[in-house]
Structure 1
């Protein structure tokens, strides 16, 4: 069921990856994208959001 749901909604898959990486961020050395495919755009968005979250967390301005 999970594979079918994720195939039908790749954005749900991207949200799941964001949740996973958010939880394990301190323990992971990095994430690698080896070959571009149909989900490359979502993966790039995830990496941009993670970079933005890290920048926002380091910014002392309110």
Structure 2
């Protein structure tokens, strides 16, 4: 056994899964892709507002 650090999970894959889950849920509830696009715009708008207010260090 090597004494190296334990393997980490793929961070990009985990973040992608966390980001796309609400979009997939919106598409499922809205029964189409338009609800997911609207949810994506809401997420983008809220991220811009949070960054403009100065809380960008607390928001992923």
TM over 0.5: no
Query: Which entry has the higher C-alpha Rg, 1 or 2?
Result: 2
Alignment TM class, shorter chain as reference: 0.3 to 0.5
Where relative contact order (Cα < 8 A, 6+ residues apart) is larger, the structure is 1
